[in-house]
Structure 1
Amino acid sequence: MVRIAFVGAGSTVFARNLIGDLIAYPELRDRLSFSLHDIDERRLRTSEVVANRIAATCDIPMTVEATTDRRKALEGADYVVTMFQVGGYEPSTVIDFEIPEKYGLQQTIADTLGVGGIMRGLRTVPVLVDVSEDISEVAGDAVFLNYANPMAINMWGLADLGSHPGYGLCHSIPLTASDLAHDLGIPADELEYTAAGINHMAFYLKLEHHGQNVYPKLKTLFTDPADAPRRGERGMPDAVRYEIMRRLGYFVAESSEHFAEYTPWFIKRDRPDLIAEFQIPLREYIRRCEIHDAEWDALRSRLEDESVELTIPHSGEFAPQIIHSIETDTQRTVYTNIPNQGHIDNLPDGCIVEV
């Protein structure tokens, strides 16, 4: 059996997506054992129900355990996936936004750097270090895969203070590549790319279609911010990244609403015109959390209701791909956040890079 522990398994939809990707591999579907952990017993229960529904729906001998005891969840794990947010929406995220706003600092997402990102990192790094120590003691050979933000801060803290090495994972590079393929009018699987940088600020160094550089065509698109494409369920405008590409020459992998707060160029106290021109959604993460909380009870009911068909989407996340590659000795390209050891020669050794 392949034993996989999810720490933060109360992230029910994300846990469902990872499980769905894993069972899609024929070599794995009959060998999977999941150990789910969360400190929120109600959400953990929902994830347990969903995991068991997946097993029943797909008729596979998958075993599922759920516990609020983290060390118990980690015992004997072959893989550990962390996917939690320390402090939650209230009080932590609200404080991350409201205190800076009192002093004139506006944010969009606040999960990477700046005041919000730093505070989130200070909450999260100690927990990741504790998890790494538990892994060393009860699952010493486990592969440690982290999704918790702020990625660079967390992985740097883990590298310096943790007792078990980890790999940071983010889906922004492949998802943005799919968006760019759509903008260019080509199939996503035909876009060839190489990206590198730091998490949420990795740039596509190569974008090619059948060996031809597509940057010249990309730079002719959406030259007016008002015409920028809209992304995702909420239709977020992507004007900032197209502007950055025209200024710097390369397209960045994380979304416009994220990138807008990473530099001093777009959110300025005395330039509200820039907010309007580039359609920058201030307090966007607050809105997302409020929408999620408002919809959660109904979503939970649907996920737990056996009379409602359970959808099991393919997410394309890196963790299942890595697990499959290790278990089957299959080569594939994935992007991870790891300490720089000459991977990017104009960034300091030891800092966390996404390559």
Structure 2
Amino acid sequence: MTKAPKIALVGAGSTVFAKNLLGDILSFPELAGADIRLFDINPERLDVTAQVAARVAQTVGARPTVSTTTDRHRALDGADFVINMIQVGGYEPATVTDFEVPKKYGLRQTIADTLGIGGIMRGLRTIPVLAEMSRDMERLCPDALHLNYVNPMAMNVWGLARLSPRIRTVGLCHSVQGTAGELAHDLGLPVEEIDFLCAGINHMAFYLKFEHRGEDLYPRLMELAESGKVPAGNRVRYEMLRRLGFFVTESSEHFSEYVPYFIKAGRDDLIEKFGVPLDEYPRRCVSQIGGWEELRVKLQSPGEPLEVTRSVEYGSLIIHSVVTGQPRVVYGNVMNSPVNEGGSAGSGKLISNLPDECAVEVPCLVDKQGIQPTRIGRIPPQLAGLMQTNINVQALTVEALVTGNRDHIYHAAMLDPHTSAELDLDQIWALTTDLLAQHGDFIPQELQAAD
């Protein structure tokens, strides 16, 4: 690719995240002249992101072509890369609904964007929008690489593989590299000197190897876990290290609602013991909304410098490697087995003791040929078994969307580890019906609550 790459940012109204990605992209000389298309359905937020893009370009000395549009087709037309960061339904009403309705039934959550009843509902309202966009891509930019940052990551990647397999999609998260930095800090080591191998499913991948200059660091991590002197906000993950022998990538607040052990009906002592921050995601949303307002005000003061620092996100590294051919290894979310255009799994699994048809997070080589996932083979059976409890929920949610079978939504909720730890079957059925009704037209018509 010798010409300036065409990069579409879908959901560019996520201004703070867009700022980080644009800073990463435009800091590369080879990408400094990129054709940046900013798309969002909110003109006000889109205008603020356009101002951010201009300030970022000025700060890093780049000269991109930046355009804004509320027409998705225009943004996608001829794009080489599509970066997706939408939130269907927004904080209000969708996220608020995902928290407030379950509370009425006694179901407490922390993040609710990946699994659990909140993750199921988020998948139901998000995957159809991603699939519609992907079908536009098939027509307007069929060779583009789709970089998906939207949760629920595994469900989204899986759903797109079933509904639009022609488009190359890789799901991107920062939990692998972010947690590596946290563990290095806990051990007093520079993260750039850490060598690791990680594999699993998004938000439930584990470090199969974690070393410093050839030394296995797991004995030191285990010693820290046994000492009881772990960071206050990380007690859940260190407890799981003690039980499983491996450290998980996603944060303790996330992980606490992927398993049935830490948020249980009648066990507030567990909440206190492990420092589980209930209702954490709504607090973050409010903070992010405040951050957007602060950024908007700052942009109205041209003399105030806009700080641009490189983030840990993989998006810009992937684009740079595809454009220049410089090889890199990133962690990406892809299907465990190749998927053909008919939407069915092919042969040759990346993780051999996980199902053919599921989305996995593995190291991927990136160069001019695009994303090339690494075959891991078998992972420890206790890890595969724990992942399967989450894969069950993902599979049934995707199946509901693909087949239009509403019953599978109830089955997904029934099999969810956290939901079933707090509610009985009658409560799960009633809650699911209530949420489907509350979300209304955000849910595909054939899956909406029956009259």
Q: Where does residue 183 of structure 2 map in the other structure? A: 180
1:219–1:246 Cα contact (<8 Å) kept: yes
Partner-residue secondary structure (3-state), 2:329: coil
Q: Does 1:93 align with 2:98?
A: no
- 8 Å contact kept, 1:203–1:251: yes
Deviation for aligned residue 1:296: 3.0
> Aligned partners of 2:235 and 2:319: how far apart in 1?
36
List per-residue Cα deviations over 1:293-343 (Å, max 9, x = no partner): 244322321134312101112102111111111111111110111110211
Contact 1:132 1:165 in 2 (8 A): no
Counterpart of 1:268 (choices 246, 253, 264) is: 264
TM-score with structure 1 setting the length: 0.95
1:345 maps to which residue?
352
Structure 2 residue 161 is matched with structure 1 residue 159: yes
Q: Secondary structure at the match of 2:132?
A: helix
Whether contact under 8 Å (1:46, 1:304) holds in the other structure is no
Shift of 1:22: 1.4
The one of 70, 73, 79 aligned to 1:71: 73
- The correspondence for 1:192, drawn from 192, 195, 199, is 195
**CA RMSD between the two structures:** 1.2
Structure 1 runs of 4+ off > 4 angstroms?
none
Preserved contact between residue 7 and residue 34 of structure 2 (Cα < 8 Å): yes
Structure-to-structure mapping, 1:315-354, within 5 angstroms:
315-341=311-337, 342-354=349-361
Question: Offset at 1:120?
Answer: 0.2
Q: Does 1:247 align with 2:243?
A: yes
Q: After superposition, where does 1:96-111 map in structure 2 within 5 Å?
A: 96-111=98-113
Residue 119 of structure 1 is matched in structure 2 by 121
Q: What are structure 2's unaligned runs of at least 5 residues? A: 338-348, 363-451
Deviates more, 1:288-297 or 1:17-26: 288-297
Separation of aligned partners in 2, 1:97 and 1:328: 44
Q: Counterpart of 2:230?
A: 228
Check the 8 A contact 1:21/1:316 in 2, yes or no.
no
Q: Which residue of 1 aligns with 2:17?
A: 14
**Cα distance in 2 between the residues matched to 1:338 and 1:304:** 41
Cα deviation, residue 57, structure 1: 2.8
The question of whether the paired residues in 2 share the 8 Å contact of 1:111 and 1:150 is answered with yes
> Does the 8 Å contact 2:41/2:70 carry over to 1?
yes
Contact 2:119 2:152 in 1 (8 A): yes
Rounded to whole Å, the distance in 1 between the matches of 2:84 and 2:234 is: 29
| Whole-Å separation in 2 of the counterparts to 1:259 and 1:348 | 21
Which structure 1 residue ranges, 5 or more long, are not aligned? 231-236
The amino acid that maps onto 1:194 is L
**Whole-angstrom CA distance in 1 between matches of 2:208 and 2:351:** 12
Distance 1:353 1:74 in 2: 27
1: CA distance, partners of 2:118 / 2:174: 21
Report the 3-state secondary structure (helix = DSSP H, G, I; strand = E; otherwise coil) of the residue aligned with 1:27. helix
Q: Does 1:4 align with 2:7?
A: yes
Distance 2:94 2:143 in 1: 34
Matched to 1:273, the amino acid is: D
Aligned length: 347
Q: Say if 2:234 is the partner of 1:238.
A: yes
Q: Select the residue among 132, 135, 150 that pairs with 2:134.
A: 132
Residue 80 (structure 1) shift: 0.3
Instruction: Answer whether contact 2:225 2:239 (CA < 8 A) is retained.
Output: no
AA of the residue aligned to 1:321 = L
Question: Partner of 2:52 in structure 1?
Answer: 50
2:61 pairs, out of 54, 59, 69, with: 59
Query: Matched residue of 2:185: which SS?
Result: helix
Alpha-carbon contact 2:38-2:68 (below 8 Å) kept:
yes
What SS does the corresponding residue of 2:31 show, helix, strand or coil? coil
Q: Compute the displacement of 1:6 (Å).
A: 0.2
Task: Please give the alpha-carbon distance, in whole angstroms, between the structure 1 residues aligned to 2:15 and 2:360.
Answer: 29
* Alpha-carbon distance in 1 for matches of 2:195, 2:317: 18
Rate the CA distance shift 1:324–1:43 in 2: closer, same or farther, 3 A: same
Structure 2 residue corresponding to 1:211, chosen from 214, 228, 235: 214
> Cα offset for 1:97?
0.8
Q: 1:146 aligns with which of 141, 145, 148?
A: 148
**Correspondent of 2:40 among 25, 34, 38:** 38
What is the distance in 2 between the residues matched to 1:80 and 1:57?
A: 24
Q: Which residue of 2 aligns with 1:81?
A: 83
- Of 295-304 and 275-284, deviating more is 295-304
Task: Tell me the distance in 2 between the aligned counterparts of 1:304 and 1:142.
Answer: 35
Deviates more, 1:161-170 or 1:189-198: 161-170
CA 82–26 in structure 1, closer or farther in 2 if over 3 Å, else same: same
One-letter amino acid matched to 1:213: D
Q: What SS is found at the alignment partner of 2:9?
A: strand
Letter in 2 for 1:10: G
Residues 286/224 of structure 1: CA separation in 2 closer, same or farther (3 Å cut): farther
Paired residues of 2:23 and 2:60 also in contact (CA < 8 A): no
Instruction: Give the C-alpha shift of residue 219 in structure 1.
Output: 0.9
| 1:288 Cα deviation after fit | 1.0
- Corresponding residue of 1:293: 289
